[in-house]
Amino acid sequence: MKKAAAGLFAVLATVTLAGTASAQVCAGYPSSDRGFYFGGRADFPENGDSFGVEADYNASGPLGVYGGLNVLSGEGDDEDEESFNEYFAGVAFETPSLGLMIGPRVSACPVVEGRLLSIDGLGDFVQIPIGLGIGADLGIPVGPSVSGYVQPQLVISRFNPEDDAFDSDSETNFGIKAGAMVGFSLLTIGGEVRHVFQEDADPQFGIRVGIRL
């Protein structure tokens, strides 16, 4: 079910690229020029759950910054089960000339993100996705706005163990992030799928709800 839903949103995101760009949607956020986005999200990693908050600011000009916090826990009914905090932040730089090469008013931007998950007793897991975001808005004249984005990525991962007896481990893989958003005035509802192409890794599907100001 999760994989089917993730595939649906990925297809929808690809279809929307035929439309026109709105705000800096290439970064995965619907905030307009000098606008903010604040929202919550629920992700469903393999054998676990993740709930978090996120925010984005689209500065006047090409720069956009975002960040947030996810609280990860394993699946189960144990109320004493330990949870872990994952912090993430990113920056996007919109490139209008690149967007025009793809299509009329298409939003395109290089995106660099950092993610940190620290687990007491084990160590820190750092992930740096570097990608090219492409997004567009369908430009529907009436009703809700519909937009989508896709970001092919190069993902650098590194594990730093807490115990000095073990060595750090790094690897680099290809990844992809794609999603779709439906806007009702200030309210935005969307879905997102993230996947790193490494052994035994499954796509991760998420649901997002927020407001844009």
- Tens-digit pLDDT string for the chain (213 aa): 444 444 444 434 433 333 334 457 899 998 888 899 999 999 988 878 899 999 999 987 889 999 999 999 876 655 566 889 999 999 999 887 777 777 766 889 999 999 999 988 888 999 999 999 999 887 666 778 888 999 999 999 999 988 777 788 899 999 999 999 999 989 999 999 999 998 878 899 999 999 998
- Residue-range definition of the domain harbouring residue 152: 2-212
Cα separation, 44 vs 125, in Å, equals 19
Q: How many domains is the chain built from?
A: 1
- What are 90's two structure tokens? 């990113």
Kindly give the pairing relationship between strand 145-161 and strand 107-119: unpaired
Model pTM greater than 0.95?
no
- Looking up residue 197, the CATH number of its domain turns out to be 2.40.160
